[in-house]
Amino acid sequence: MREYDEIRLKNTEEKIRRTNHVYDLIPEYKLLDESVSKISMEYAKASILHGKKDSSEYTKKINEISKRKSELLKSASLDENYLDDIYDCDKCRDTGFVDDEKCSCFKQREIKLLYNDSNMQKISETASFDDIEKAFYTGDDLENFNSAYRGAINFVNEFLIGDPPKNGLLFFGSVGTGKTFLSSCIANKLISNGIDVLYYSSINLFTRLADYNFGNDHTSRIDFNNKLYLSSLLIIDDLGTEITNAFTGGELFAILNARCANELPTIISTNLSLKQLQDIYGDRIFSRIVDKFSPYKFTGDDIRIKRKVNA
């Protein structure tokens, strides 16, 4: 809504600039504008004092003035609509709403804002379920991927029907087998439908948390925690690539625990096996994952390498 305030201010300033330009260029135009104000005041006064209802004379005068103003603009090689109100969106007139419903321009801005807030610029904003190439998978690898694909579709559909899943998704297994891409497909689909998603690679997430934790910006830390704990969906990508220690383990548990308490889902992708997850993060975190995540194993060769070989 602040953006719309800024748009209206910008367009108002532009109209004032154009009006001053016309007044300087065509002095008669300013006199005509002043006469319109005078005639309007006279008619309003007559209506109040004398109950005058016939507006035909008033309308005739206004139409004559409007015609003359158009002629003056044309003579100055200006469009007859040059001094009309200016809108970026003619449908909602830069209010964001049409008949109390969100305008299409509002929805587009909302999605753009969601993308900016999601941190999705770190991964593909164009990833789509339609672009998934299953030809890179065969045999058991294809079966595993299809299972994860169906899980992702069901996950998205639950959001779209208004009953968001309470449990998250765990994508684990071989490097380069589509875990991040499938996560980004989910994120893009949800964001395009106005659902807030927050994405962080594991390294960036814990680096940022460490900066807040060991710095003095407590307000930003609280705000960041609120985003992590309360976003409709949190995606933690490449878990296990960060430096693991007591701090990262504690922060991860706090995030998962808060989101579980708020019944909000999380997607975790990792190249680690389930056994490695348990060994590295301990039973407390592993228990949360087992209880609140649907696990999907990815297997096969690195698709990025396959693409280069086949290019």
- 64, 86, 108 — which closes off a domain? 86
Task: Work out the pLDDT band at 277, boundaries 50, 70, 90.
Answer: very high
For residues 138 and 272, membership in a common domain is answered with: yes
| CATH for 234 | 3.40.50.300
172: in domain: yes
112: in domain: no
For residues 277 and 136, membership in a common domain is answered with: yes
Closest CA to 264 of 160, 157, 167: 167
> Angle 218-230/246-261 helices, nearest 10 degrees?
50
pLDDT over 70 at 17, yes or no: yes
pLDDT in tens, 134-156: 888 999 999 999 999 999 999 99
The string of DSSP codes covering 184-245 is: HHHHHHHHTTT--EEEEEHHHHHHHHHHHHHSS-HHHHHHHHHHHHHSSEEEEEEETSSPPS
Instruction: Tell which wins on pLDDT, 217 or 17.
Output: 17
For residues 169 and 251, membership in a common domain is answered with: yes
For residues 222 and 286, membership in a common domain is answered with: yes
pLDDT over 90 at 115, yes or no: no
Q: Say how far apart CA 96 and CA 83 lie, in whole Å.
A: 23
The token pair at 261 is: 């308490």
16: in domain: yes
Q: Is residue 135 classed exposed, middle or buried when 0-12, 13-18 and 19+ CB atoms within 10 A define those classes?
A: exposed
For residues 287 and 138, membership in a common domain is answered with: yes
For residues 166 and 227, membership in a common domain is answered with: yes
What is the sign, positive or negative, of the torsion defined by CA atoms of 68, 74, 78, 82?
positive
Amino acid (1-letter code) at residue 267: I
For residues 141 and 204, membership in a common domain is answered with: yes
- Mean pLDDT of the chain, nearest integer: 89
pLDDT over 70 at 52, yes or no: no
pLDDT for position 215? 74
C-alpha dist (Å) from residue 33 to 23, 74, 142: 10, 16, 73
pTM attached to this predicted model: 0.71
67: in domain: yes
Question: Within its chain, how far is the Cα of 122 from the centroid?
Answer: 15
Instruction: Tell which wins on pLDDT, 237 or 220.
Output: 237
pLDDT for position 181? 92
C-alpha dist (Å) from residue 167 to 112, 232, 258: 27, 12, 13
pLDDT for position 109? 81
pLDDT over 90 at 1, yes or no: no
Among 37-51, 114-128, 188-202, 232-246, which stretch is predicted with the lowest mean pLDDT? Answer: 114-128
Task: Determine the Cα angle at 7 with ends 227 and 10, to 5°.
Answer: 135
- 86, 101, 132 — which closes off a domain? 86
Highest mean pLDDT of the ranges 9-18, 28-37, 59-68: 9-18
Domain that holds residue 55: 2-86
pLDDT for position 51? 66
93: in domain: no
12: in domain: yes
For residues 270 and 173, membership in a common domain is answered with: yes
For residues 81 and 133, membership in a common domain is answered with: no
For residues 141 and 66, membership in a common domain is answered with: no
Q: Say how far apart CA 168 and CA 225 lie, in whole Å.
A: 19
How many domains does the chain contain in total? 2
223: in domain: yes
For residues 148 and 283, membership in a common domain is answered with: yes
202: in domain: yes
Containing H/E element for 104?
A: helix 104-118
For residues 260 and 303, membership in a common domain is answered with: yes
pLDDT over 90 at 73, yes or no: yes
pLDDT over 70 at 124, yes or no: no
pLDDT over 70 at 194, yes or no: yes
